[in-house]
Structures are given as structure tokens and as C-alpha cells.
Chain A
Amino acid sequence: MSTATEHGKRSWLFRLLRVRVWLAEVFSPSELQVTLFWAGVIGFIGALTSMSFRGLAYLLHLLLTQQGSGYVESFRHLAWWERLLVPAFGGLIAGAILHASVRFARAKSSTDYMEAIVVGTGVLPARFSLIKCASALFSIASGASIGREGPLVQLSSLCASLIGRACKMPAQRLRLLVACGASAGIASAYNAPISGAMFISEIVLGSIAMESFGPLVFSSVIATITLRQTSPLYEISMPANAPVHANSEIVPCMLLGLLAGALGPAFLKLLRWSEKLFAQFKLPPYQRLPLGGLVVGALAIVRPEVCGNGYSVVEGVLKGHWMWQPLLLVLALKLLATSATFGSGAVGGVFTPTLFVGACVGYIFEHLIQPLWPWPLDVSLFALVGMGAFLASTTHAPIMAILLLFELTLDYPIILPLMLACVLAHYTSLSFIKDSIYSESLKRKGADAFQRQLRHLRVSNLMKADPPAVREIATFRIIAQNFLKHRFNFLYVTGDNGSFRGAIALHDIKSYLSEPELANIVIARDLLDEAFPTLTPDMALSEALMRFSHISCERLPVTDVSPDHKLIGSLSKTDLIMALTERASHQAGPK
């Protein structure tokens, strides 16, 4: 009876294994495909966190101002002293949160998602990241001149990091998942999936290799679809009925590109100068942030348009509702407000304020050049081109800038002048300043050191410890169970002392899985390929890649350098290619 039961169990196991092999052959999900799945999940969660943050910011803003409309409109309805005090009060709470967090939650790793992707291991500390987002919530809700995209990206990156850690992903893949979270955050902030993926590829990863770009696209598209399905709120929406643009506008647009290329570095210098100025006061965050808030409040008494991310002003500019003179004043005050907010250390993004400055520069430029130009110029085109060119100039990411503006407008005729202006702005900006708004920050945080480290990266830095393996005496049944339990196509075999003996290929044994007679006759030693390539921990990545070229498999075993060649880990081809792609992009030059 017991023999019959045993036989039944064995048959069931072998049938299950056959199904698994069939599925593996039909779908054969590689690690990259699994990453793609998680990228989609992260996109969905990223969109949900974005919506939650927006909802909370709206409620808090309502609480602070008793106004339910946009930031500029709300501040317009406030008394002068309320305009002064609301940003200062928001800054006080935001600063107090940051100050308290330093006291009770010292983060072991950085909360900066870019740092986690480029410099770090992809681990974002949950508590500290949430505290930063809570601080950003108060700054943003009280009208600080800063973008919401910062905390949106932070939150979705955090979710990605937590998911990756829960799935015990190796550092290389964890970093890619955090990048997917950031991509979802950008996409859901601007309703722009292509730019979301391109932002991370161009600025953070510095590469558009498909190993990383595919998951980024997946994540940003899923985030956008989720957001479109559930919420009509976007950061910026553009007029869709732009006129067809004439070639006569090309030359002024190129001039605008040159101007934006020169002004972008000046804008960055202003932000850095403000940061240094605030640092000189040596104030704790609960005093420094309200001070920044007071500056914004004081400027809001003159022009409430300085508050918030500048969304409504950009909309007005694109519709041509402004005279250039008052807009010049608003631009000047907005620059002061943004540098005060940024310099005081408020948490948030400078991406949206950059778009604001670009739109105003383009608009004012059109008004100044139109009297000198014999052909009519379209003011909204110049505002849009100004946004793109200024963005390209400050981020050093012209492709992302072009795509973002195209996605925001869905207006193909702007593409030609936009592309020219963005490329010119980028090249002009490079002659003034080598670092972008983002790379400068990363450089200060030691990305250079990491790039040096990347060049010296070894197999041991990327390998995953303790891979599944069976002993030489493991029976056919145990081998089958292991193939069923793990998704691998090769099962490693070790000797009594843990030494690596070879690997069994699922492909070799799959036809005999329905032969329960073999269960105890055949052991691992009878099936293993002793010439299976191995890696050592101190091996250079390029050499490891050469080993992969000898065999079609997703991972290779790593053995130690002792005479026994003990199995200590395995290296995934996906992780290796991702690391090599990053190294190639970093070697190509600073981004």
C-alpha cells in the first residue's frame, strides 16, 4: 500500500515537472522578463502613491488656506499677512519634521533615489524617505515654490525598493527597480510615459540599453494608464489646437535655444548661490525652512503667482494671456522664490519650476523679437520651445526635453523648432557648465567615486550567495524536485565538502521525467556536465561575460579560489549586462 502511494506521489511529481518544463519552453521567462513584470507592478503602485500624495497635498492646502482652488488662485484670495505667514508656517512644520527625523531616525543609507540607483545599492530607507515626503507635503501645501514631482518620484522609488527587497533581488536588479519607480513617478507627475522612462535613462542611468530601458518603459506606461483611468489630475496640460508653424519661426527658435542655453547655467548658479547663502546662517531646518517660506510669502504679497509649482501661470502663458512686462516681474520674483525655497533645503522638485522659467523666457523672447522680425510669430510656440530648451539646458538631457514637450502638447508641428532649440540649448549650456542640475548633486554625493569603483567591479560584487544545488548522490527524484522548486534551467551539483562538481541541464533530462523507474537508479553524478563553465569572485566582469558566451544559460556558478573550488554563489547574466552597460555609459563621459 505504501509502495503504491509512493509510486502515485512520484508520478504526480513527474507530471508536474513535465508541465513546468512545457511552460518554461513555451514562455521561458528570463530574469529580465520577470523584472519586466515587477516593473509593471511598480508602475501601478507608483501611480497609486502619486494620487495619494496629490490628494493629501490638496487636503492640507485646503486646511491651511481655506481655499480649494490652485495655489496662485488661493493666495490671491488671502490677506497680505496670510500670504506672508502660510508659507512660513508650512516651512516651520516641514523643517520641524526634518529636524526631528534627524534626531530619532538616523538613516544608514541615503534617501535620494538617484543616489540609490547610481551610487548605492538600491536600498532606500523607508522611514526616512516617508519623513522627507511628509516634509515635502507641508512645503508644497503651503505654497513653497517647488515642484511636486520630487516627492512623487521619491514615494514610487521607495515602493520599488521595498518590493525589490521583499523579493530579495540582488543590488543590480534592485537599482533597476528603483529606477522603474522613479520612472513611474515622473510619468505620473506629467502624464508623460515616454519622458518618464527617458528621464531616468538619460539623466540617472546615462544609457538607453534595452536591458534597462524596457522595464523603465513598462513601469512608466503602466503608471500613466493607471492614472488616466482613475484620476484626471495632471501637473500640466497644454492647449491642443496649436497652429501649424511656419519655417520662418525656425531661426528665432534657434536663437531662443541659444539664449536658454546661456540662461540655464545662470539659473543653476542662482540655486547654488542661494543654497550657500542659507548654509552660511547655520540654522537648523526648523528655522531655515520657515525663513525660506517667509521670503516666498513676502514675494507672494507682491505677486501671488510665485507660489506653488507655477502651473496656472504656465497655462496662462501658453494661452497668451500675459503682457510681457508683468510677466518679466513675475519671472524675476519666481526665480527669487524658487531659489529661496530650494536654498532653504525644502524637499521637492525643481523640474516644474524649470519649466515655468523656460515658458516665461520663451514668451518674453517672442515679444521682444517680434517687432524686429518681418514674419508673424506664434507666442505659444515660443513658450513651449522655451520650456524644452531651458529644460535641456539645465538637465543636459535634450532627448528627454524634446519628448516631454511633445508628450505634453501632442503637437507634432512644434517638433522641428523644438528639436533644434533643445540641441542648441544643450550644447550652449555645456560650454558654460559641465554638470547638469542632477549630475552636480550626484557628483557631490560621490558618484565619481562610484564610477571609479564600477571600473574595478568584480564578480563578487554582483554574485548572489548560496545558489540552489544538490549533492552528487542526490537521486533523480530529488533532482526533479529541485527543478520544480527553482526556475533555473541548470542545477548545480556539489561534492561532500561543498566543492562544485558540475551542472545538470533540465534540457537533457526533461524527456525522462515521466520515468519513475529512474527515480532511484540515477543520481546527480550520472547526469552532470563536469565541464560547465565557472566564475571566480575576483574575476573581471569582461572575463565573466566571455564565459557566458560559451554557453546559453542565464546564470553561472561562482566558486572560491581554494583547491576544492567550493560553490559560493551564482552570477546572473542580466545583472552582469546591466553593470557593464552602466560602466560603458559612465565611461562615455559625464552626463
Chain B
Amino acid sequence: MSLLSEALHPTAIELDVSAGTEWEAIGEVAGLLRRIDGVVDADRLCDEVIDRERISSTATDLGVAFPHSRTSAVERLVVALGRSPGGVRFGPSEHLIHFIIVIGTPREMVREYLQVVAELARRFKDAALREALLRAGTAEEFMAQLGAAA
């Protein structure tokens, strides 16, 4: 089982993010982690992810953003994923963001954090995969397409 499979639970996937702004979108996706094991304080996690995003935007030209934080609000590495079919404008990026991937990592897990971010960034580079993910009907299908199914 890959680190990503362990970190991403189907209940932490929202295929229809309704928020219209960057901060609301992050809050909505981070809120999915409220029900996930290992999350000590979901509100603080959300605040810290937003604080981090304000310092430097994680939005990429591919329509994917990786808001994240190394924080004591989580006890293990957790990932939540939101899909916004209409897209949300993130920071100064000219491109609309369709995938918002919120990552929470315990402070001491630098290498695991890099591993998950690198893995996700690598997978989302594939335009065909992004297309397939936009078409996915369920969270399970989304995970299967992403290759993150357990």
C-alpha cells in the first residue's frame, strides 16, 4: 500500500466543490478531514493550511493546487481532495484551479510529506489523467483513476 493510499480516504474526497473563492475552497476541502482518523484539530489544520497558502501560493499552471501544512494538528499524514468542475481562481495564477489537494503532515515527517506531494504532482502532470479525473462519477472511481485505491 502506497503512502498516498494510506493518506487519502474516499470520505475525504469531494467531487463537487461549491466554494467560489480560494479560501472558501480550501476550508471546504480541509473540512473533509474532520471525520478522518489522526486529525486532532481540523479547524486549526484548516487555519494553518490557509496561513501557509497566504505566504506562497501552491497553485500550478495545470489547474491543480496543493495547499498544505506541517502541523501538530494531525498525528499522521492525511490528504483531502476536492474537485471544482467550474474552477476556482487561486492567488495570482492565470489558470483556474480544478483540483484542490489539502495535505496535513506531522511536523517530523518531512520526507513522507515530500514523497506524497511529489507523487501527487507527478500524477497530475498527466493531462489524460486530469481529464479522466474530471469525468469520475464517484470518490471510489476517482481514487481508482488516480491509482490511489488501497
Q: List A residues at the B interface (Cβ < 8 Å).
A: 472-473, 475, 505, 508-509, 511-512, 515, 517-518, 520-523, 525-527, 529-530
**Contact sample, A vs B, 17 pairs, CB 8 Å cutoff:** A509-B110, A509-B114, A512-B114, A512-B118, A515-B121, A515-B122, A517-B118, A517-B122, A517-B125, A518-B121, A521-B60, A521-B117, A522-B117, A523-B55, A525-B55, A526-B68, A526-B70
In contact, A508 and B60 (Cβ under 8 angstroms): no
Distance in Å: Cβ of B54 to nearest Cβ of chain A: 11
CB contact list, B108-122 vs A, under 8 A: 110-111, 113-115, 117-118, 121-122
The chain A residue with its CB closest to the CB of B123 is A517
Residues in chain B near residue A515, CB distance under 8 A: 118, 121-122
State A325–B93 Cα separation when bound (angstroms).
Answer: 100
Cβ-based interface call for B95 (8 A) = no
Partner of A526, one of B52, B111, B122, B125: B52
Given A512-B118, A515-B118, A521 and B111 touching (CB < 8 A)?
no
State A521–B111 Cα separation when bound (angstroms).
Answer: 15
State A156–B111 Cα separation when bound (angstroms).
Answer: 49
Cβ-based interface call for B34 (8 A) = no
Partner of B121, one of A472, A473, A475, A517: A517
Cβ-based interface call for B107 (8 A) = yes
Residues in chain A near residue B2, CB distance under 8 A: none
Distance in Å: Cβ of B81 to nearest Cβ of chain A: 15
Cβ-based interface call for B5 (8 A) = no
Residues in chain B near residue A525, CB distance under 8 A: 52, 55
Given A508-B111, A523-B55, A526-B113, A518 and B60 touching (CB < 8 A)?
no
Q: List B residues at the A interface (Cβ < 8 Å).
A: 52, 55-56, 58, 60, 66, 68, 70, 107, 110-111, 113-115, 117-118, 121-122, 125
Distance in Å: Cβ of A490 to nearest Cβ of chain B: 13
Given A521-B66, A521-B117, A526-B70, A508 and B110 touching (CB < 8 A)?
yes
**Dominant SS among interface residues on chain B:** helix
Given A515-B122, A517-B125, A522 and B55 touching (CB < 8 A)?
no
Given A473-B56, A525-B52, A526-B70, A518 and B110 touching (CB < 8 A)?
no
State A527–B69 Cα separation when bound (angstroms).
Answer: 10
State A517–B52 Cα separation when bound (angstroms).
Answer: 19
A-B contact count (CB 8 A): 47
Of all A-B residue pairs in the complex, the 9 with the closest CB atoms, nearest first, are A517-B121, A515-B118, A508-B110, A512-B114, A523-B56, A521-B58, A521-B66, A512-B118, A473-B56
Distance in Å: Cβ of B42 to nearest Cβ of chain A: 20
The chain A residue with its CB closest to the CB of B64 is A521
Residues in chain A near residue B107, CB distance under 8 A: 530
Residues in chain B near residue A521, CB distance under 8 A: 58, 60, 66, 117, 121
Residues in chain A near residue B118, CB distance under 8 A: 512, 515, 517-518
Residues in chain A near residue B56, CB distance under 8 A: 473, 475, 523
State A525–B60 Cα separation when bound (angstroms).
Answer: 19
Identify which of A505, A508, A526, A529 gathers the most chain B CB atoms within 10 Å of its CB.
A526
State A520–B117 Cα separation when bound (angstroms).
Answer: 12
Distance in Å: Cβ of A364 to nearest Cβ of chain B: 75
In contact, A508 and B121 (Cβ under 8 angstroms): no
Given contacts A511-B111, A517-B122, A520-B60, 8 further A-B contacts (CB under 8 A): A473-B56, A508-B110, A511-B115, A512-B114, A515-B118, A517-B118, A521-B121, A525-B55
Distance in Å: Cβ of B72 to nearest Cβ of chain A: 11
In contact, B55 and A508 (Cβ under 8 angstroms): no
In contact, B110 and A527 (Cβ under 8 angstroms): yes
State A523–B114 Cα separation when bound (angstroms).
Answer: 11
Distance in Å: Cβ of A523 to nearest Cβ of chain B: 5
Distance in Å: Cβ of B100 to nearest Cβ of chain A: 13
State A204–B117 Cα separation when bound (angstroms).
Answer: 56
In contact, A522 and B114 (Cβ under 8 angstroms): yes
State A414–B113 Cα separation when bound (angstroms).
Answer: 68
In contact, A473 and B117 (Cβ under 8 angstroms): no
State A215–B113 Cα separation when bound (angstroms).
Answer: 42
The chain A residue with its CB closest to the CB of B122 is A517
Distance in Å: Cβ of A521 to nearest Cβ of chain B: 5
In contact, B55 and A473 (Cβ under 8 angstroms): yes
Residues in chain A near residue B111, CB distance under 8 A: 508, 511
Given A508-B114, A512-B118, A515-B118, A472 and B58 touching (CB < 8 A)?
no
Residues in chain B near residue A508, CB distance under 8 A: 110-111, 114
Residues in chain B near residue A530, CB distance under 8 A: 107
State A505–B56 Cα separation when bound (angstroms).
Answer: 21
In contact, B117 and A518 (Cβ under 8 angstroms): yes
Distance in Å: Cβ of B99 to nearest Cβ of chain A: 13
State A483–B70 Cα separation when bound (angstroms).
Answer: 22
Distance in Å: Cβ of A456 to nearest Cβ of chain B: 38
Distance in Å: Cβ of A494 to nearest Cβ of chain B: 14
Distance in Å: Cβ of B142 to nearest Cβ of chain A: 21
Residues in chain B near residue A472, CB distance under 8 A: 55
Distance in Å: Cβ of B86 to nearest Cβ of chain A: 23
State A472–B115 Cα separation when bound (angstroms).
Answer: 20
State A580–B99 Cα separation when bound (angstroms).
Answer: 57
Distance in Å: Cβ of B47 to nearest Cβ of chain A: 15
Residues in chain A near residue B114, CB distance under 8 A: 508-509, 511-512, 518, 522, 527
Residues in chain B near residue A522, CB distance under 8 A: 114, 117
State A525–B125 Cα separation when bound (angstroms).
Answer: 24
Residues in chain A near residue B121, CB distance under 8 A: 515, 517-518, 521
State A509–B130 Cα separation when bound (angstroms).
Answer: 27
State A523–B113 Cα separation when bound (angstroms).
Answer: 12
Distance in Å: Cβ of B121 to nearest Cβ of chain A: 4
The chain A residue with its CB closest to the CB of B119 is A515
Identify which of A512, A521, A530 gathers the most chain B CB atoms within 10 Å of its CB.
A521
Residues in chain A near residue B110, CB distance under 8 A: 505, 508-509, 527, 529
State A51–B47 Cα separation when bound (angstroms).
Answer: 72
Identify which of A505, A517, A530 gathers the most chain B CB atoms within 10 Å of its CB.
A517
The chain B residue with its CB closest to the CB of A516 is B121
State A509–B113 Cα separation when bound (angstroms).
Answer: 10
State A515–B66 Cα separation when bound (angstroms).
Answer: 15
State A34–B27 Cα separation when bound (angstroms).
Answer: 52
